[in-house]
Structure formats: C-alpha cells, structure tokens
A and B are shown apart, each in its own frame.
Chain A
C-alpha cells in the first residue's frame, strides 16, 4: 500500500513559530486571568469577608498556570502531530483538576449560633463533560495525524 499523499502546500499557510509563540502567550495570559487570577481573587475576598472556603487559593493559581500552559502549547503545536496528544493531556488534567475542586467546593459562614454551608461541587462534576468531549476530539485528531499526516492542515490553516 502506498503512503498517503501529503496535501498541496499551496492550499494551506501555517503561521510562523514566532507568531504562534506570541499568540500562544496571549492566549495563556487570558486563560490565566479567567481560570486562575479571577477565582483566586474571589476566594481571597470571600475569606476576608469571613466566609470559609475549603478550596486552597494557591491550588487555583497553580491550576490556572497549568491551564494557561496547556492552552499555549495547544496553539503552538496545532500544525504538528503533537497537537492531538497535547489536547488529550490538557483534557486529562482538566478532568483531574475539576474533580479535585469538586471535593473542596464549599463555602461556610458562621455566627454564634448558626452555621451555613453551601456545597457547589456538583457544578464542577457537571463541567467534566467539557474536557471529556475535548479528550475525544484530541484522540480523533491524534488518529488522523497518525494515519494521514498533514491532511488536516488545509482545513486548519486555509490560504
């Protein structure tokens, strides 16, 4: 059986590595703000207001950094065969992180005779569907790249 034909290079234009790096860093910064900094700030303010949270604020920042790194790596590796595995790794980390948060997602408030505890971990369990779908997407992309290297480039980077 003959090897699959590579797509015509004239049908796609891959951004340069330098450009992908710059955009990747910008994406990482955005992700870090929304997934790391904002939740960290919310948790810090809740604690300052006397509301006890079981979720460590430092874990949120570290999780945000990891998400940012995976987002940047996905963008930079998109034209390569590493794109699928990076997507799978990022999705797997997301699943683990969401399950970690779901076990600690509580807010408690106490007065001298009353304690109120709100548990919202099920929200994060529900969100696990998102990285599961992403993981499937990464798996199919990995298989596609293994069977037909570069075949998706004209559709990911049309001229």
Chain B
C-alpha cells in the first residue's frame, strides 16, 4: 500500500478521469432514454382528410371573406416518453400541375413536453377563386394539385428528424364544366328581345354552391344589354342546369358579345369565366 496521501495534482487528475467516465455513462444513459422515448411517440390520428373535405369530419375547407379558400386540419401527437419534443413544425406548398406555387402553409413550431399530447394545427390557403390569376383554372376544372410537406422535429435536443413527402391534393371544382349558352333571340311586341340563357355546371367541390350567379349580357361593343340572376342551392356533388329568359333592348346586338358571370354568396364574390356569344 502506498504511504501517505496522494499528491494534490495526482488527486485532481484522478478526479477528472473519474468525471470523464461518469460523463460517458451519463451521455449513454441519456441517449438510451432518448431513443426509448422516441420509440413511444404516437400520432393519435387527425381530423384532416385532404381532398377539400368540406366540414364532414375531415379537414375543414372554408371560403373566407377575402375569397381565399382555407384548408385547416389538426394532427394530434402524443409524447409518452421522458424527454421533450423541442420543436415540431410542418410546412407545405401546393402548386398547380406543372405550374407555379399556389399556396404556402403549415403549422407553427410546437413543443411537446414529456407525457403530453399536443394538437398541431396545419393550415394553408389557396388564393381567391377568380376568373384570373394562377388559380383561375380551379374554378371550373378539377385538378390534382401537387403538395409537398416538410416536417422538422428536434427530439430531446440531440436528435433531428426531417421528413419530406409529396402527395396530390384532389381538388374538385365548384363550377366544373361551367357553361352559359344564349339561345336564339326572339323579338317581343314591346320592342325588346327575349334571349334564353341556359346556365349549367357540376359542383365537384366538397362544399355546396349556395348563392347567386348573376349573368350579364354584353354586346359586342361591351355595352350591357341585360342582367339576370340564377339562384343556386347546389349540394356538393350535385349538378345544376336552368334556363331563364333575359330581355334586351332591340338595339343591343348580342352577336359576338359575351355573358359575364359572377357568383356571390355570404362573404364571397367570385368572378367566373365569361362565355362568348357566337
């Protein structure tokens, strides 16, 4: 046995050696606990369905006051482990098929403590449904919109997970196959001209078309000849076809003109594609 007390510097060196071994053990234990906790993460389902599901238990699709279509869903994530999820964030973009980015969205950065469940709201908005702009085609045509999601997670402050996934968002047009045709004008005894207008379309969207389509007959020179309104109450998946008579002044030459259409509903005003009059 050595005689006396070990020298001070020797004891300090030995202390650091012991601390290094202790640190190594602690790091391994922490990593092991982190791996075990991560293996217990559970997504507890969502009320998001994609495919502009309206309000039927899937994600919610709403048309807002600014005519923008907002898709919102919530994903629940349970962290039953011992360590926190420091930052979870979802980002998404929706594009036209082969075309420009239509919308961006995602979720805020969410932290989920150990033993907690968090609801992660995911929203993105499509631009206003108008007759012009990048989303114009979506008013009257169904489309498969490419969507790209990015999910970034930091777990226990030491593990980072990045997920990038692509899928298609099935968009049903609210006015698919829109058609407004003008029949043969018939002169009336009072000097006006009666022109039947037939409006037809199919609602492929997951929300109903409830409102009014105003059809304005314009002459080839652009002057307004007549205006009529079609009252709509078309359920999702339904179709519409109705003929109404418009009365124009006899001096109004409809040939070569157009039918200007606009759809109005509570908090919604959408210009629809115009239909030419042969």
Contacts and interface: CB of A to CB of B under 8 A. Distances in A.
Interface of A: 8, 11-12, 113-120, 122-123, 126-127, 129-131, 133-134, 136-138, 140-141, 143-144, 147-148, 151-152, 154-155, 158-159
B20 A134 contact: yes
Interface of B: 1-3, 6-7, 9-10, 12-17, 19-20, 23-24, 27, 30-31, 157-167
Contact of A151 (B7, B12, B157, B159): B7
A133 B9 contact: no
A138 B9 CA distance: 11
Nearest to B24: A130
B157 A123 contact: no
A147 B9 CA distance: 10
Contacts of A129: 20, 23, 27
Contacts of A143: 9
A133 B20 contact: yes
A114 B162 contact: no
Contact of B10 (A130, A131, A141): A141
A68 to B, nearest CB: 17
B27 to A, nearest CB: 5
A37 B30 CA distance: 24
Contacts of B158: 120, 122-123, 126
A133 B18 CA distance: 9
Nearest to B158: A122
A80 to B, nearest CB: 15
Contact of B163 (A115, A123, A126): A115
A39 B13 CA distance: 30
Given A136-B16, A137-B14, A119 B163 contact: no
Contacts of A115: 162-165
A11 B27 contact: no
A152 B165 contact: no
B16 A133 contact: yes
21 contacts: A12-B2, A113-B165, A116-B164, A117-B161, A117-B163, A120-B159, A120-B160, A123-B31, A123-B159, A126-B30, A126-B158, A130-B20, A130-B24, A136-B13, A140-B13, A140-B16, A141-B10, A144-B9, A148-B9, A152-B6, A158-B2
Contact of A119 (B12, B15, B30, B159): B159
A137 B19 CA distance: 10
B162 A137 contact: no
Contacts of B161: 116-119
A29 to B, nearest CB: 20
Contacts of B13: 136-138, 140-141, 144
Given A119-B159, A123-B159, A144-B10, 16 more contacts: A8-B3, A113-B165, A113-B166, A114-B164, A114-B165, A116-B164, A118-B161, A130-B23, A137-B13, A137-B17, A140-B9, A141-B9, A148-B7, A151-B10, A152-B6, A158-B1
B2 A11 contact: yes
A158 B157 CA distance: 44
Contacts of A122: 157-160
A155 B10 contact: yes
A154 B23 contact: no
Contacts of B159: 118-120, 122-123
A122 B16 CA distance: 23
Nearest to A118: B161
Given A114-B164, A154-B3, A123 B27 contact: yes
B34 to A, nearest CB: 9
Contacts of B165: 113-115
A142 B164 CA distance: 52
B162 A119 contact: yes
B163 A127 contact: no
A11 B3 CA distance: 7
Given A127-B24, A133-B19, A140-B16, A117 B10 contact: no
A136 B18 CA distance: 12
Nearest to A138: B13
